């Protein structure tokens, strides 16, 4: 047995470089016009205490949103149990934005306050991609074992891969075969992804899901581990993002205080917490010194700031943008809140990157027709696979009669005689001149977005030596 001393793990995942942050309260001046989220409203005039509340909202937004998602999930699945998706997402699924169609999700919410939880990933077919993204309550990706990098202890070379997820300050004996994964908060999200190679492959993925084990350390040692059947999570009556957006401002801040009493801020957050304490925002506290109207103004301004924020380190290539530092945020609280609002669960770049394009589906009411052309040998460089998915103005899959929501992975693209690949991105069916797999439907009007997913991207995709080609208008 190995002895684990929790004193060595309380800051796990937090030792990162602080990045430049645009001013919290002034960042609302930066508009993301391509997303159609800009606003003509004048920024609110806030008191000094109101500015502190504004910053506290941005700071605490990811924690409150994570718990809204947790509460929604636990309404149908117990804590410390996997909920295995049985089917890929459709346009009707609205529990989150930006669903991918390349993997089936396996999700679990862990409570480590009662002790460590064991996670075992079974043997998976050679060449099939899998990833277990393990996030703390503040949305930081702390661990990311995958088929590319299993991240197991020395000496382990073959599956199953068995990990033990450990909460802050826990100490005790661990079996030799377990790889410890320390976490800084007792609330943990496990977001698993298993590659799906088409509709006929889903039953095989279900078999793999049944082989994923999750149990308390005590149950694991006693061999009391039951498999979980694939379950399609029910749609919430209101998506968690909307739940948080609709919260009364005072309720939001008091909820934040209560949650911080369990999921403590990181040591690096102490300067921010000292400011927030001026208005009562502390672990277990209650906001004070501001009227309901002042809190509402501060919260409204903070939400606007989050909505229009553009991370200064976002990379732009041919009107495609991607975040090269998603997943771990340190003290960049606005970046953290923006990613949570627009795509909670974003992977670390080494696991996946998501170049995104924003455009208008129409030209003065006439449906637009776009083309995306990859030169021969210039498809996205990956060690796993890539795909291209279209989303509507709200970030959901685009409903269309053909039932085509993504191309490139399950529906392979077709190269031309010279090796080039040209994709038709438009609402209307382009006809037989465009091969099956080369048409991606978009809405008939309004804003839309494209997300190019690169799983296990090669270094040239991350550092910019390879760039996505431009999306061009077709006559």
User: What distance in Å separates the CA atoms of residue 142 and residue 13, rounded to the nearest whole number?
Assistant: 5
In a domain, 32, yes or no: no
What pLDDT is attached to residue 27?
A: 27
- Same domain? 201 vs 346: no
Classify residue 460: in a domain, yes or no. Answer: yes
Q: Are 331 and 18 in contact (CB under 8 A)?
A: yes
Q: For 100-109, give one letter per residue: b (16+ CB within 10 A) or e.
A: bbbbbbbbbb
Low-confidence ranges of the chain (pLDDT < 50): 7-40
Specify the CATH number for the domain of residue 208: 2.60.40.1610
Take residue 366 and report the two structure tokens written for it.
């006439």
What is the pLDDT, as a whole number, of residue 475?
Answer: 82
In a domain, 66, yes or no: no
Closest CA to 471 of 318, 317, 323, 316: 318
Distance CA 189, CA 194 (A): 16
**Helix intervals (H) in 309-450:** 333-343
Instruction: Indicate which CATH number applies to the domain containing 366.
Output: 2.60.120.600
Strand ranges of the sheet holding 161-166, from the earlier edge strand across to the other edge: 179-182, 161-166, 117-121, 213-216
Number of structural domains found in the chain: 2
Q: Give the C-alpha distances (Å, rounded to integers) separating 106 from 193, 212, 213, 418.
A: 6, 9, 11, 41
Q: What does the pLDDT read at residue 25?
A: 25
- Residue in the block written with tokens 């801040």: 253
* Listed residue (369, 366, 377, 347) closest to 451, CA to CA: 347
Note down the domain range covering 128.
77-231
Residues 210 and 90 in one domain: yes
- Residue at 455 is within a domain: yes
Query: Global pTM?
Result: 0.85
Whole-angstrom Cα distance, residue 115 to residue 100? 33
End residue of a domain, out of 205, 231, 257: 231
Same domain flag for 90 and 211: yes
- Region class of 39: left (phi > 0), else alpha (psi between -120 and 50), else beta: beta
212, 97: one domain: yes
Number of neighbouring beta carbons within 10 Å of residue 280: 17
- What's the pLDDT at 95? 67
Asked if residue 45 belongs to a domain, the reply is no
- Evaluate whether residue 43 is within a structural domain: no
End-of-domain residue from the set 231, 266, 283? 231
What count of other Cβ atoms lies within 10 Å of the Cβ of residue 388? 21
Q: Facing residues of 407 across strands?
A: 388
The encoded tokens of residue 413 equal 């693209």
Phi and psi at 132, nearest 5°, equal: -115, 100
83, 223: one domain: yes
Q: State how far the Cα of 307 lies from the Cα of 298, in Å rounded to an integer.
A: 14
Phi, psi of 292 (to 5 degrees): -60, -40
Q: Within this chain, do residues 226 and 342 fall inside the same structural domain, yes or no?
A: no
Q: DSSP characters for 113-161?
A: GG--EEEEE----TT--EEEEEEETTS-EEE--BSS---PPTT--SSPE
User: Is residue 47 situated within a structural domain?
Assistant: no
Adjacent-strand bridge partners of 373: 422
Q: Which of 176, 210, 231 is the last residue of a domain?
A: 231
pLDDT tens digits along 361-416: 998 899 999 999 999 999 999 999 999 999 999 999 999 999 999 999 988 999 99
241 located within any domain: no
pLDDT for position 97: 75
């Amino acid at each position: 047995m190995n002895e684990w001393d929790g004193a060595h793990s309380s800051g796990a995942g937090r030792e990162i470089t602080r990045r430049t942050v645009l001013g919290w309260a002034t960042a609302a001046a930066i508009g993301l016009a391509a997303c159609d989220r800009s606003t003509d409203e004048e920024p609110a005039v806030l008191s000094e205490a109101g500015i502190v509340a504004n910053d506290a909202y941005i700071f605490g937004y990811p924690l409150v949103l994570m718990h809204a998602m947790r509460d929604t999930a636990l309404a149908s699945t117990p804590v410390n149990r996997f909920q295995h998706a049985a089917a890929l997402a459709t346009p009707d699924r609205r529990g989150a934005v930006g669903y991918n169609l390349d993997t089936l999700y396996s999700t679990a919410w862990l409570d480590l306050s009662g002790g460590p939880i064991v996670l075992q990933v079974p043997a998976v077919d050679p060449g099939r991609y899998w990833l277990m993204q393990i996030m703390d309550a503040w949305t930081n990706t702390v661990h990311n074992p995958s088929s590319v990098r299993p991240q197991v202890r020395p000496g382990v070379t073959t599956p199953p891969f068995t990990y033990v997820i450990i909460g802050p300050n826990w100490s005790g004996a661990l079996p030799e075969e377990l790889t410890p994964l320390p976490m800084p908060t007792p609330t943990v999200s496990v977001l698993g992804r298993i590659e799906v190679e088409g509709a006929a492959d889903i039953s095989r993925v279900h078999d793999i899901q049944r082989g994923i084990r999750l149990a308390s350390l005590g149950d694991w040692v006693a061999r009391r581990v039951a498999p979980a059947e694939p379950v399609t999570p029910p749609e919430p009556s209101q998506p968690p993002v909307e739940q948080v957006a609709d919260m009364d401002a005072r309720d939001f801040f008091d909820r934040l205080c209560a949650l911080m009493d369990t999921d403590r801020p990181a040591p690096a957050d102490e300067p921010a917490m000292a400011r927030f304490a001026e208005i009562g925002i502390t672990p277990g506290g209650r906001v004070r010194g501001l009227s309901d109207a002042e809190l509402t103004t501060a919260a409204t301004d903070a939400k606007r700031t989050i909505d229009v924020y553009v991370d200064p380190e976002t990379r732009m290539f041919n009107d495609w943008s991607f975040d090269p530092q998603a997943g771990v945020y340190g003290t960049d609280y606005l970046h953290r809140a923006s990613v949570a609002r627009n795509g909670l669960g974003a992977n670390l770049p080494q696991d996946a990157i998501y170049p995104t394009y924003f455009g208008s589906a129409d030209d003065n009411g006439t449906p637009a027709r776009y083309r995306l052309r990859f030169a021969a040998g210039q498809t996205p460089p990956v060690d796993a696979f890539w795909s291209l998915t279209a989303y509507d103005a709200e970030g959901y899959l685009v409903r269309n009669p053909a039932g085509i929501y993504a191309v490139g992975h399950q529906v392979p693209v077709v190269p031309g005689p010279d090796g080039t690949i040209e994709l038709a991105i438009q609402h209307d069916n382009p006809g037989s001149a465009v091969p099956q797999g080369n048409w991606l439907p978009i809405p008939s009007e309004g804003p839309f977005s494209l997300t190019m997913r690169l799983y296990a991207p090669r270094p040239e995709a991350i550092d910019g030596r390879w760039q996505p080609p431009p999306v061009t208008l077709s006559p």
